[in-house]
Structure 1
């Protein structure tokens, strides 16, 4: 059941943990084009509430679910995440928008809004993922957990390929080349739609 049509495309960046999704997305898209997700995850020291995420209590997040205010919601590393339907529609009213989501989050939004939801999958080797995680994460257990998830998360590439407007980007390349390839995919999509 579709709630409302999106006026402009919504790009969803997907990939294994450590693939560079957030960093690439921030380099490709203007800040104001981000659909800000809700989360129960604690705020990190470099983050700003209402800019990086809407940080919610578990009770408030449950309220968002029960009032059907979320276009999708998922649990990742024991924290809940979700995209607000009103925010998604508002952000795509005048231009395209984006967010970094799980495959499940993408699929839920795509069910409601169809081909205007475009997945961009960042494909990266396990070796590169582990190297990147080691440079940004101090907790060895977190690195092991996310490394163990790699095999499961890389399988999402095959799920993404089932959608007509998908893009698979080689994220093993230099960062600047990955950004260039994602920009090319976004420009190509905007010409088609």
Structure 2
């Protein structure tokens, strides 16, 4: 382990289309987010240093070579990674969060241990596909996301192996999911 985190780091995990990002944004204060690095192009509604640290491929490669990332992955041809310095800094005065893949959670948990708390949103494939159809019109993307769901949903079995895990029923109304995640966060923060 590199350094002990002073406060919990919540990792929101779930299948693509499960609503992870919207739930996280409704539960956590925006300045509690651990901002990831990415080589993905910035979108019109995004801000550098708020949504992501947008990097060139060369800048991202330097972060990798310098050992500055706690975890990293490639998704749809773009690289993503969580900076160690950012993670330690964001958890120095209060808890923090990020929305990551299960593999991203695993890598960070290996380095920082029990203070890394996985919260898995368990959503049925039917609900995920319905949500994706409402925001995507490309049949090929929907097909890819459906296949990705099968991989992502299997991770619930892996999350359960961690003693400090939480599983939230993501098939409930958005408000109920947000309430359940807030309750989980409050319980963990009170214990730590």
TM over 0.5: yes
Aligned to 1:155, what secondary structure does the other structure show? helix
The residue that corresponds to 1:23 in the other structure is: 22
Report the equivalent of 2:191: 192
- Cα distance in structure 2, aligned partners of 1:87 and 1:138: 36
1:8 corresponds to: 7
Q: Match of 1:106?
A: 105
Count of aligned pairs between the two proteins:
192
CA distance, structure 2, for counterparts of residue 10 and residue 61 of structure 1: 23
Match of 1:80 in 2: 79
Paired with 2:46 and 2:143, the residues of 1 have a C-alpha distance of: 24
Shift of 1:139: 2.4
1:81 aligned counterpart, secondary structure: strand
Query: Structure 1: any 5+ residue segments left out of the alignment?
Result: none
Offset of 1:140 from its aligned partner? Answer: 2.2
Give me the TM-score of the superposition, normalised by structure 2: 0.98
> Once superposed, what is the RMSD of the aligned Cα atoms?
0.8
Please give the secondary structure, in 2, of the residue aligned with 1:68.
Answer: coil
Query: What is the distance in 2 between the residues matched to 1:55 and 1:147?
Result: 28
TM-score w.r.t. length of structure 1: 0.97
Question: Displacement of 1:41 after TM fit?
Answer: 1.1
- Cα distance, 1:138 vs. partner? 3.0
The answer for the alignment partner of 1:134 in structure 2 is 133
SS in 2 for 1:111: helix
Residue 124 of structure 1 and its aligned partner are, at CA, apart by: 0.3
Alignment of 1:29-48 (within 5 A): 29-48=28-47
**Runs (4+) of structure 1 moved beyond 6 Å?**
none
CA distance in 1, matches of 2:134, 2:166: 27
**Pair 1:156 & 2:172 matched:** no
1:40-60 deviation digits (Å, cap 9, x = unpaired): 111122111110001111111
Unpaired segments ≥5 residues, structure 2 = none
How far apart are the structure 2 equivalents of 1:156 and 1:141?
23
1:115-166 deviations in whole A, cap 9, x for unaligned?
0000000000101111111111232221211111111110110111111110
